[in-house]
Structure 1
Amino acid sequence: MKPGLPQFVSEDPNLFPRTGLALVAGGLTVLTLPPFSWLIAVPVSFSVLFIVLRNISTSRAFLVGWAFGLGQFGIGISWIAESFYVDAERFGALAIPAVVGLSAGLAIFPASAAMLFAAIMQHRVLHGIKAGLLLATCWMATEWLRGHVLTGFPWNLAAYALVDHAALRQPAAWVGSYGMSFLTVFIGTLPSVLIAVAPKRRLSVFALFSVAMTGLWGGGTLWSSQDVPPTDITLRIVQGNVPQVEKWAPGSRKRTLEKYLRLSVRPGRFDLLLWPETAFPGFLDEDAIARTQISAALPDGRVLLTGAPDRVEGDGATRYFNTVQAYDGSGEILAGYAKHHLVPFGEYVPLKGLLPFERLTEGLGDFTPGPGPRTLAIPGAPLVGVAICYEIIFPGQVVDELLRPDWIFNGTNDAWFGTSIGPEQHLASARMRAVEEGLPVVRAANTGISAIIDASGEIVARLDIGQTGVIDARLPAAHAPTPYARFGDWTSLALICAAWGIAFAVGFTCQRFNRENTRSEEL
Structure 2
Amino acid sequence: MSSLLALAAGAAVAVAFAPLNLWPLGLAGLAIFVQLVAGAGSGWQAAGRGWLFGVGMFAVSLNWIATAFTFQAKMPAALGWVAVVGLACYLALFVAVPAGLTARLVKKPLSRALLLLALWAPAEALRGTLLTGFAWNPLGALWLETPMVQLASVVGSAGLSLLALATATGLLWLLRGPSRRLRLGGAGVVAGTGLLALTGSGMIVESEFIGAPLVVVQPGIGQGERYDAAAAERHLQTYVSMTRAALGQVARAGQPVLQNADVAQRQLTETEGVTSPLPPSADKVTGAMPNKVAPGIANPAPEQAGGGLALLPRKPTLILWPEGAIDDLIEIDADARARITAGLSATDMLLAGGTGVTRGRDGRPRYANSLFVLSGGGRIVARYDKAHLVPLGEYVPWRDWLEPLGIARLVPGDFDFQHGPGPRTLELPGFTAVSPMICYEIAFPQAVSDPNNRPGWIANVSNDAWFGAWGPPQHLAQARLRAIEEGLAIVRATPTGISAVIDGYGRVQVSLAQGEKDVIITALPPPLPETLFDRLGLYPVVVTALLAAFAALLIDRRTPPSPPRPFRTI
Using the size of structure 2 for normalisation, the TM-score is: 0.82
| Conserved 8 A contact 2:170-2:189 | yes
Q: Which residue is 1:311 aligned to?
A: 357
* 2:120 corresponds to 1:73: no
Give the deviation of 1:199 after TM superposition: 3.9
CA distance in 2, matches of 1:141, 1:187: 19
Which residue in the other structure is 1:26 paired with? 10
Give the distance between the partners of 1:453 and 1:365, measured in 2 at CA. 34
1:126 aligns with 2:108: yes
Structure with the larger helix share? 1
Stretches of structure 2 that go unaligned for 5 or more consecutive residues are: 251-315, 560-570
| Residue 521 (structure 1) aligns with | none
The offset of 1:132, in angstroms, is 2.3
Partner of 1:493 in structure 2? 542
- Among 226, 229, 249, the alignment partner of 2:208 is 229
Q: Equivalents in 1 of 2:129, 2:552: separation in Å?
A: 29
Higher RCO (C-alpha under 8 Å, 6+ residues apart): 2
> Counterpart amino acid of 1:486?
R
Q: CA deviation at 1:190?
A: 1.8
SS at match of 2:398: coil
CA drift of 1:501 comes to 7.7
CA 502–455 in structure 1, closer or farther in 2 if over 3 Å, else same: farther
Task: Give the equivalent residue in structure 2 for 1:145.
Answer: 126
**Deviation digits for residues 243-273 of structure 1 (CA, Å, limit 9, x no counterpart):** 1121111212101100101110112226101
Spell out, residue by residue over 1:23-56, the C-alpha distance to the aligned partner (whole angstroms, 9 max, x if none): 1110111111112112211221011111222132
For 2:159 and 2:323, locate their aligned partners in 1 and report how far apart those are by CA, in whole Å.
30
Structure 1 residue 191, shift from structure 2 partner: 2.0
Q: Give 3-state SS (helix, strand or coil) of 1:346's partner.
A: coil
CA contact (8 A) 1:248 1:281 kept: no
Instruction: State yes or no: 1:247 paired with 2:226.
Output: yes
**What letter is aligned with 1:297?**
G
Which residue of structure 2 aligns with residue 325 of structure 1?
Answer: 372
User: 1:437-476 maps to which residues of 2 (within 5 A)?
Assistant: 437-476=486-525
Q: Give unpaired runs (5+ residues) of structure 1.
A: 1-16, 512-523
Residue 280 in 1 paired to residue 326 in 2? yes
Q: Which residue of 2 aligns with 1:46?
A: 30
Q: Does 1:334 align with 2:381?
A: yes
Cα drift, residue 197 of structure 1: 3.2
**Contact in 1 for aligned 2:427/2:434 (Cα 8 Å):** yes
Q: Quote the Cα distance in structure 2 between the aligned partners of 1:241 and 1:212.
A: 45
RMSD between aligned alpha carbons?
2.0
What SS is found at the alignment partner of 2:20?
Answer: coil
What residue number does 2:277 align with? none
> 1:172, 1:179 within 8 Å by CA — same for their partners in 2?
yes
Q: TM-score, normalised by structure 1?
A: 0.89
1:352 deviates by 1.8
SS at match of 1:171: helix
3-state SS of 2:172 partner? helix
Structure 1 residue 359: Cα displacement: 1.2
Quote the Cα distance in structure 1 between the aligned partners of 2:82 and 2:187. Answer: 46
Q: Distance in 2 between matches of 1:352 and 1:106?
A: 22
Structure 1 residue 216 displacement after superposition = 1.7
| Secondary structure of residue in 2 paired with 1:375 | coil
Distance between the aligned counterparts of 1:429 and 1:329, measured in 2?
A: 32
Residue 341 of structure 1 aligns to a residue whose secondary structure is coil
Q: In the comparison of the two structures, how many residue pairs are matched? A: 486
1:432 counterpart residue number: 481
* CA displacement at 1:151 relative to structure 2: 1.1
1:213-266 residue CA offsets vs partner (Å, 9 max, x unmatched): 222212111212x23322222110000111112111121210110010111011
Match of 2:344 in 1: 298
Deviations 1:461-485 (A, max 9, x none): 0001000010001100111111111
Counting only pairs closer than 5 Å after superposition, residues 25-424 of structure 1 correspond to structure 2 as 25-53=9-37, 54-88=39-73, 90-121=75-106, 125-128=107-110, 130-165=111-146, 167-224=147-204, 226-266=205-245, 267-269=248-250, 271-316=317-362, 317-356=364-403, 357-418=407-468, 420-424=469-473
Aligned-partner Cα distance in 2 for 1:243–1:40: 35
1:278-316 deviation line (CA, Å, top 9, x unaligned): 011232222322211222211231010000011212322
Paired with 2:76 and 2:343, the residues of 1 have a C-alpha distance of 38
Paired residues of 1:132 and 1:193 also in contact (CA < 8 A): no
SS class of match (2:77): helix
Q: Conserved in 1, the CA contact under 8 Å of 2:331 and 2:357?
A: no
Bigger mean CA deviation after superposition, 17-26 or 47-56: 47-56
Amino acid at match of 2:227: W
What letter corresponds to residue 468 of structure 1 in structure 2?
K
Partner of 2:312: none
Give distance in 2, aligned partners of 1:106 and 1:498: 26
Query: Could you say what secondary structure the match of 2:326 adopts?
Result: coil
Q: Deviations over 1:314-372 (max 9, x none)?
A: 32222110010000111010001000000011101112212232211112510010011
Q: Distance in 2 between matches of 1:111 and 1:198?
A: 25
Q: Distance in 2 between matches of 1:100 and 1:55?
A: 25
SS at match of 2:402: coil
Q: Residue 257 of structure 2 aligns with which residue?
A: none
Distance 1:367 1:422 in 2: 23
Query: Which moves more between the two structures, 428-437 or 190-199?
Result: 190-199
Distance (whole Å) between structure 2 residues aligned to residue 343 and residue 421 of structure 1: 18
- Give 2:131's aligned amino acid: L
For 1:268 and 1:211, the matched residues in 2 are separated by: 50
